[in-house]
Structure 1
Amino acid sequence: MSSIPGVPRPDQASYMLRAAAGEAGRAYKQQLLDLLDLREGQTVLDVGCGPGTDLPALAERVGDSGTVIGVDHDPAMLARARERTNDLPRVEIREGDAHALPVEPGTVDRAKIDRVLMHVAEPADALAQLRRAARPGARIGLAEPDWDTLIVDAEDLETSRAFTRYTTAEMVRHATIGRSLARFAAQAGFRIEAVLATTPVFRDFHEADHTLGLGRNMQKAVDEGRIDRDRGHRWFAGLSQGPFYASFTLVSVICSR
């Protein structure tokens, strides 16, 4: 049987770096960093830092007298993060889990969690750990997608809707945490300062296929009998014909300790 010729997913570090470098990734990340109001000499924590995508920008903002701590549980990610920051002496890379942060209580001035809570086992526990690490008055930035809002334009609207339902139900552990982010943060004891929604828009089919996993995830849905094979293949083939559009909602929450 034939399969959908979607773009194979690269190693996770390369995937994250490319997604962050895209227009949509750059825009919301810049907004999140601006709202964190980073200052010289502060200690800033990046939970789930991955391959160190944001660590150089954080280090630049806190200066030579500041400290940036990047935490991740994946050794491969940590290795890439160390490579990216080996000339930044004020950046510390620590192996650890969001549920048990390797950070002393009350030592962090600023912190961010970016598209991590949708994957962790217990988002509420991760936020409790973050509150423990933060100093009184610390400012925290959170950003998570709401995958129920994923839309992919196609003549076959029902298959697009089925693709979104499959993505939400099967592909992401906490697929709708974006909409609940402020509530989770408030329940963890944070004061909510701002809630913003941005809409990353994809006009290039190949970039969307890479970032959103259109071909990969449709093939999984077909293989699991969630979407008819012929219909799924026609849907995917049609996406590259003519103008392309896809988008989803990403929610950012700025809160304080």
Structure 2
Amino acid sequence: MSQMLDFNEAAAKALEAMYLTPDVVAQSARVLDLLAPRPGEKIIDIGVGPGLLAEDLARLVGDTGRVTGLDMAEPMVKMARTRLAALPQADCVVGEATALDFPDGAFDAAVSTQVYEYVADMPKALRELHRILKPGGRVLILDTDWRSVVWHSSDEARMARVLDCWDGHLADPHLPAKLGALFARAGFQVRRVEVVPMLAPQWQPVSYAAGIMRTIHGYARANGAAKGLGAEEIQAWYDDQLRLAERGEFFFSVNRYAFLATR
């Protein structure tokens, strides 16, 4: 059973800071390129988070379009609503990916980044997504497969234990490998799949790598005991990464996978 992250107000602010790093901003630009939103379209952002992608979408669909952000975490919805307040064509609601409270065929397109890996019942979630899209509607889903991580460490066995603990916060840490077949069973046609790497060949304090390192550290401290990880071992892992950064030996890479499909 996964120990999901608690997306409270503090976590929402930390996630916003990570989403504003240059590498995640570049990822969002690629997502927009692939989805290709058009003026006048109605688009849903499932797992809207702090609303950064929804803000871009709202500007691209213009005054004649509509963007709806959905998130199960109220602090995220509050943050997104604040960001979108000046854009009347955008709104946000609290909701679940497996129970989308919208009419059939309500949207021209949907986007979801780093969300479905948290969803336990993917067949149900994709059936719901299929239902709310118009015939021919597009969906862009991007998620991480944590088997792709390459992360330098002075103690590879300890790194493996920490990452095994981290896997526990997801319903499926390896979702992309199964997503094509799941799409097909839900009635979608996959049109394109791309690798979107998050690469940090050197230490950069304002980056996804730095943000995820802090997030994993906090998660492991709260949940590591269930995996046999003590506080000293977790801190030793974190301190080792800082020492590697000081010596110019830091390296981190993990792959995200973007799937573009049509209904």
1:232 Cα offset (Å): 4.3
TM-score (norm 2): 0.86
Corresponding residue of 1:210: 211
CA deviation map 1:177-230 (0-9, x unaligned): 122222221221110000111210233365534324242244356534534665
CA deviation map 1:19-44 (0-9, x unaligned): 21112211221111111111111111
- Return the alpha-carbon distance in structure 2 between the equivalents of residues 60 and 66 of structure 1: 9
CA contact (8 A) 1:99 1:125 kept: yes
- Return the alpha-carbon distance in structure 2 between the equivalents of residues 214 and 50 of structure 1: 19
CA deviation map 1:106-135 (0-9, x unaligned): 121111011111112312211111110000
- Return the alpha-carbon distance in structure 2 between the equivalents of residues 150 and 220 of structure 1: 22
- Return the alpha-carbon distance in structure 2 between the equivalents of residues 108 and 223 of structure 1: 44
TM-score (norm 1): 0.88
- Return the alpha-carbon distance in structure 2 between the equivalents of residues 18 and 114 of structure 1: 16
- Please give the secondary structure, in 2, of the residue aligned with 1:165: helix
Cα pair distance change 1:228/1:71, threshold 3 Å: closer
Cα pair distance change 1:211/1:236, threshold 3 Å: closer
Give, as a single letter, the amino acid of the residue that structure 2 aligns with 1:12: A
- Please give the secondary structure, in 1, of the residue aligned with 2:154: coil
Corresponding residue of 1:32: 31
Corresponding residue of 1:140: 139
- Please give the secondary structure, in 1, of the residue aligned with 2:111: strand
- Return the alpha-carbon distance in structure 2 between the equivalents of residues 232 and 61 of structure 1: 44
- Please give the secondary structure, in 2, of the residue aligned with 1:192: strand
Give, as a single letter, the amino acid of the residue that structure 2 aligns with 1:210: G
- Return the alpha-carbon distance in structure 2 between the equivalents of residues 228 and 102 of structure 1: 43
- Return the alpha-carbon distance in structure 1 between the equivalents of residues 190 and 204 of structure 2: 37
CA contact (8 A) 1:148 1:165 kept: no
Corresponding residue of 2:262: 256
- Give unpaired runs (5+ residues) of structure 1: 1-8
CA contact (8 A) 1:48 1:113 kept: yes
Corresponding residue of 2:191: 193
CA contact (8 A) 1:36 1:254 kept: yes
Corresponding residue of 2:152: 153
Candidates 169, 178, 182, aligned match of 1:180: 178
CA deviation map 1:153-176 (0-9, x unaligned): 1121221222222222x2222111
Deviates more, 1:199-208 or 1:146-155: 199-208
RMSD over equivalenced CA pairs, Å: 2.1
Cα pair distance change 1:176/1:240, threshold 3 Å: same
- Please give the secondary structure, in 1, of the residue aligned with 2:105: coil
- Please give the secondary structure, in 2, of the residue aligned with 1:56: helix
1:12 Cα offset (Å): 2.4
- Please give the secondary structure, in 2, of the residue aligned with 1:155: coil
CA contact (8 A) 2:165 2:227 kept: no
Deviates more, 1:225-234 or 1:102-111: 225-234
Cα pair distance change 1:47/1:248, threshold 3 Å: same
- Percent identity between matched residues is 24
- Return the alpha-carbon distance in structure 2 between the equivalents of residues 71 and 256 of structure 1: 20
